[in-house]
Chains A and B, each alone.
Chain A
Amino acid sequence: MRMLTILCIDDEALGLQVRRAVLERAGFQVLTATNGKTGISLFKENRIDAVLLDYLMPEMDGGEVAITIRNLKPEVPILLHSACVDLPHQVLNLVNATLAKGDGAETLIHRLHQVIEETKPQSENSR
């Protein structure tokens, strides 16, 4: 089985770095971007199995990034990973799942596997 590739987009550099280490230890291949723009170009260039997306970011927020990704490849699951409590409904409807920051590494890994599993049959059928 090939390694699953996760794209992490977060403006918080330190957090991103730590998260990458955690995910790599969990056996994922990790691509990181500190803003939406870089994230989208990475998404276009690479085969991505899931996107871990922060919401509150300068210039382009998580919502906008999610819309662009959905338009490019609707089958790729998006896990919205934010500390925000009052996320807009449009964004919540767009993404596959949300995860609050600070819930711990195990939860993060578990939820990532979960969304990938949930979307797998669909993505294979559509391919």
Chain B
Amino acid sequence: MNLQEFRRILKQAVLIPLLALVVLAGVLLWQVETAQRAQRWLDHSDQVSSELNELERLIFEQANAVRGYELTGNQAMLAPYKASAGPIHTYFTRLRQLVADNPQQIGNLVQVQDRYRLWLGYAQDILARPRVLIDYNHNSNQRSQVLGNESLDESLITAVRDSTRKMGLAENHLRSERLEESIVLERRELVVIIFGTLVVGLLLGFFSLNRLRMVSKAYRSALTESQRRADELYESREWLQTTLRSIGDAVIVCAANSTVQFMNPIAEELTGWSIDAAQTQTLERVFQIVNEQTRKEVESPVEKVRRLNKVIGLANHTMLLARNGMEYAIDDSAAPIHDKHGNLIGIVLVFRDVTEKKRTEAALVASEKLAIAGRLAASIAHEIHNPLDAVANLHYLMAGEPDAAKREEYLALAQQELSRTVQISRTMLSLYREPNAPVSIDLGDLLQGVLLLLHRRLQSQNITIIHEFENNCMVEGFPAELRQVFTNLIVNAVDATGPNGRIRLGMKSVPAEEFSGAGILTEIADSGTGISEQVLQKLFQPFFTTKGDQGTGLGLWVSMGIVQKHGGAIRIQNSTDPEFKGANVRVYLPARTLATSSSRSTPHFS
């Protein structure tokens, strides 16, 4: 039911009872009117009867007066006769008017009037006779005449009386008929009132019931509908909440004004704030983040999202300071929440504890360092033991040599072998002596050092190295780490190219470009078979190796981290050079670096 229908029903509920009541009132009025009319007719009959009685009484009075006068001759006796004449006339006129509607009664009245006039004529005769005769002639004749006159008078009056009686009876009969009619009408009125009220009442009752049912049905369905909607809303809200709560990462949702609105249990655990306590707080208070090294506060992600109006990631080395004093290294992202008009209405923050991951990464880096150190140590031991062995043998020879010239020769040889030993041990030492700040490095020298360390290995596989180095390739950085990078890359090239292979090492300075400063580009190309597309994609993943048990799978991953730390980049692709068909590894290192000794040296991929 819509609102229009509801209004229609409301109108009906007012107008229809009103209409029914008006009709009922009309019927009742009509009934009352009918009954009243009957009553009036009854009154009319009563009036006719009473006036007729009065008329009769007046006529008899006249008759008595005339008789009295006739007997006594006393003029005084005629007073009533004279007095009644006027009223009688009036009564006749009135009665004539009253019974004008009834021809029968008109006839009766005319009869009464006629008879009265007849008597009146007789009475006037009497009154016209001389009084003396009557008073003084007392003979029997006269007397009998008088008596005869008397009987005439009597019969005339009786006739008048008869006709008045007749009229009275007729009127009485009429009255009783009217009374009966009036009673019937009154009864009918009562019945009509009772039944009319009953019927209208019942009809109105049914009508109202029907309309009320319609409204109540509509109300019930509306109620059910709204309940269903409320249920659905609740369910979808619950579903969303459960989803958010179940996410493995910490989630904080805050309003555009930074007030925290939602936190999932992981966010509660990491921040140390319960959702109830946090809900009135600003995000900056609940989600306190500082730089891992400087301990300075990091720009609030809310501010950053508001400024950039896009999804952002946090800077590296972000530490979350929990309410309970714990500190977590975190990785996070923040995204704006827009309403349908595109206005910022909130921010959702997703972050995770990467403390453990960072520790693991650091352990991996350390283990790779150790593996490399182990390999280098073995190789260095070999390098050192060869000249040492020669020196020991030369000493033995010198001891038993009588020829001075020969001794000199042996001494010179021993000296030569010793300086070789010293050079090797120096190179090894420099590998482990790491400065705290980046130092200026001649990358060409560094690469030569690496080649010297790998000399034995290269020689054993009969690998030809071709250098194409520019002079004075200076970069800033940490030599041991860079040495590690190039050792890795050259060993990879050696493994790829195999025995009797060839490796070309190129080094040149590159000018500053739009997105990178000036620096040194080192190129390492081998004559191997190249890298498959599948392997290319996984090259920098930790533990990915093509060398089976021989490789840790960490070399390139660590190298990438170190180069990125220096602000550089590594690109690996298959070479287009027909001389060196294998992989072509290019390492860019900027001439100036922002790296610090504690910078993260695990790779990050965006």
Where the two chains meet, the residues of A that have a C-beta atom closer than 8 Å to any C-beta of B are 11-12, 14-15, 18-19, 21-22, 25, 56-59, 61, 82-86, 100-106, 108
Contact = CB atoms under 8 A, between A and B. Distances in A.
A22 B417 contact: no
A22 B393 contact: yes
Contacts, number: 76
Interface stretch (B457-465, B510-518, B545-553): B457-465
Contacts of B460: 11, 56-59, 61
A85 B377 CA distance: 10
A14 B415 CA distance: 13
A22 B413 CA distance: 14
Contact of B397 (A21, A85, A86): A21
B386 A103 contact: no
Contacts of B386: 12, 15, 83, 101
A82 B383 CA distance: 11
Given A15-B393, A22-B396, 4 more contacts: A11-B460, A15-B390, A103-B389, A105-B392
B199 interface: no
Given A59-B462, A101-B389, A104-B392, A18 B382 contact: no
Contact of A59 (B387, B392, B410, B499): B499
B572 interface: no
Interface of B: 378, 381-390, 392-397, 400, 410, 413, 416-417, 456, 459-462, 499
Nearest to B456: A56
Contacts of B392: 102-105
A22 B400 CA distance: 10
Nearest to B374: A86
A101 B413 contact: no
B396 A104 contact: yes
20 contacts: A11-B459, A11-B460, A12-B390, A15-B387, A21-B397, A22-B396, A56-B382, A56-B460, A58-B459, A58-B460, A59-B462, A83-B382, A83-B383, A84-B382, A100-B385, A101-B385, A102-B385, A104-B393, A105-B393, A105-B396
A89 to B, nearest CB: 15
A18 B393 contact: yes
A86 B378 contact: yes
Nearest to A54: B386
Given A58-B460, A58-B461, A59-B499, A18 B385 contact: no
A58 B462 contact: yes
B393 A19 contact: yes
Contacts of B400: 25
